[in-house]
Amino acid sequence: MFFTVFFLLTPTFKVPGFIGIRFDDLLAFLIIFLFFLLSKSVTISVKVPVRAGLIIIFCLLMLISISWGSTYGLPSSILDLTKYIWLAKLFVIYLVFYNYIYFDTSVDNVIERRNASLSFIVTIASVSALICISQFFNPLNINKYYVPFIAPTQFTTLIEGYGTPRVVGMIGNPNAQGYLMALTLLSGLYLMLTKTSKLLSIKLFLIFIAMLMTLSRSSLAVFVIGALLLFVFYKKNKIFSYYKYLTLSVIGVFLFGAFIFLKENEVIYNLILWRFEGLGNIMEDKSFITRFHGWIINFEYFTLSPVFGVGPLPRGGEVFGTSDNEWMFFLRSYGAVGTAWLLLFLYSSFIFTNKIKAIYMRNFNYFTLSVVIMTSIYMIPAGVITSSSLSSLFVAILAFNDKQLFVFTNK
């Protein structure tokens, strides 16, 4: 519960000359501290799933990549090893959520805990959405009291009088906030398919509005893709299938008509729609062109060391520029081996699985697959796995669908 609140409602505290720190970072390392403190006096058993095992393997792969990159005269340093802090955090969060969901092997209990966890995530996301809506309208100019602290490089669009504000929530970045809204919106859509609720509908409406207010085109695009995949894959009965395709057709016509209507509304167009209209002509978009040039530079360094990459090199920004593409970042940093690891980490629960017969288990599998595909596409213009503010919630949801590898007992 605390983790979920921290994921969505707390900012990153910048420490000069060091990495940013979040409350979920502190909670993860508090758990590690308590584990070592209590391990001598208390028997602790932890179920270790497949993806957690893959994180352990990645620790070795990262060391190889860092060592390999140092032979090319690139700006590597001992600070490269701070990436292990990020790995340790993901490892702890994954174990915490997996062991909570699979506390026992009863299918009914697993389903109940999954749905309860997703419901709580959506509730906290709706609170985050209310913060976004408040930032957009800026009543009594309250943004000036706290937004510069949360988003020192993004707050200028949220000060009084700015024409096209981009909300940042408590995350501090509109694109990152948009992704979290898209992820929680897809989670809420899954819950709506399992059981309709008026209160849930209100929460999802708030989250959707907040996502639009971030003006994040990539977030809107990946949500639409994820929602379509979930809606197409989700199964109940024949009647549901008929209604499903009818609803898809009606929604498509409605959204097209709504866009045409709202486009004619000059106020709404100037505030929000102008930015999303650029999705239809992405190759001429300045933001995309800048990203594309960064991809070329990073790809050149991948060809320099295609097997293990040249390491993450957090101080190599002047050399590489900004990759703005997590797939390209993994290719450059960890090579083909590291990128294969990333694919395995994302899709292992769908590769190494027996045929699922129970329809409710299949539907949840479709939901997590939609989340992974949605995120995989989002990782083309941005980062999730290596983002301290986005990776936590994503891997927590991944932990809802995995298989046990072994049980670790300290005694």
pLDDT tens digit string along 384-402? 998 889 999 999 999 999 9
Range 104-113, long-range pairs (CB < 8 A, 24+ positions): 107/358, 107/361, 111/360, 111/364
pLDDT at residue 268, as a whole number = 54
How far, in Å, are 106, 261, 382 from residue 282 at the CA level? Answer: 48, 23, 15
CA-to-CA distance for 217 and 221, rounded, in angstroms? 6
pLDDT at residue 266, as a whole number = 53
CA-to-CA distance for 259 and 136, rounded, in angstroms? 21
Tokens describing residue 16: 């000069």
pLDDT at residue 300, as a whole number = 81
How far, in Å, are 23, 49, 90, 299 from residue 404 at the CA level? Answer: 28, 4, 17, 36
pLDDT at residue 117, as a whole number = 96
| Predicted model pTM | 0.88
Return the H-helix or E-strand segment holding 231. helix 217-233
CA-to-CA distance for 301 and 260, rounded, in angstroms? 44
Q: What is the mean pLDDT of each run of 10 residues along the chain (411 residues)?
A: 87 73 91 88 90 94 86 71 87 96 87 94 97 92 89 79 83 93 95 90 94 89 92 81 74 68 56 55 58 75 86 64 80 93 93 71 92 95 90 95 89 73
pLDDT at residue 94, as a whole number = 96
Q: Is the dihedral of CA 72, 76, 78, 81 positive or negative?
A: negative
- The answer to whether the beta carbons of residues 230 and 190 sit under 8 Å apart is yes
3-state class (DSSP) for residue 357 = coil
